[in-house]
Amino acid sequence: MSDIIQIFLGLFVGAVCMYWLFSTYRLKRSKEVTNTQSVVLLEKIRKVCKLVVVEGEFAEIYDHQQDKGYFFGMISSTKRALLIVKAKVHIGFNLQKLKMEADNKRKRIILHAFPEPEVLSFEPNYKFYDIKDGVLNKFKPDEISQLNEKAREFVMDKIPESGLMDTARKEALETILIIQNIVETIGWKLDYSALEITTNEKLLMNEALKE
């Protein structure tokens, strides 16, 4: 009888040990898979890198005029150039500037901060409409390239006034929803509670997520 009890106890202990080992292996494997998913997910979001949400086209005339005096200011010579600048501008978000972390235990991506919109690309086309040298004051070859750069800065300064940045900020909600969709592809959730989002914006996001 004692032998049977010993055998039973042995089998019972063995079964418990096997169950413990199997459970430990499953837990470890599950943890490894979770960690792997979080790394792949974060890489997947960051691989998108730059997301264009607004495109604008500019057409500006840049007028450059320079007066230069000679012989103690007794004689003045003026040179002038008119440039037509057409440019295509893309405004969006650099997703590498996202501040987020993975909560493996709860399978959540926590979004701490969202980047401000910025100029992602600027494609200018310069055309000299008119260029006039003064009798003594003439354009030098290196000044032409400098004029192109000044014209570029001239148009860039117009971007904040155009309203493109404000439009891009409104599109930030759509960008967050894109990230949400990426996160949900592997069964995770996006936690954006740390962001400063108005009540109306949160309602719009919740409605969009239900669709």
Q: What is the pLDDT of residues 125-179, one digit of tens each?
A: 988 888 888 777 787 888 888 888 888 898 899 898 889 998 888 888 877 887 7
Based on C-alpha coordinates, what's the Rg of the chain? Answer: 32
> Rounded CA gap, 74 and 211, in Å?
76
Residues of the chain scoring pLDDT < 70: 1-49, 72-73, 197-211
Lookup: tokens for 16: 């418990």
pTM of the full structure: 0.62
Q: What pLDDT score was predicted for residue 118?
A: 92
* CB-CB contact of 39 with 31 (8 Å): no
* CB-CB contact of 54 with 168 (8 Å): yes
CA atoms within 13 A on the CB side of 106: 9
Helix axes 2-48, 172-184, angle to 10 degrees: 150
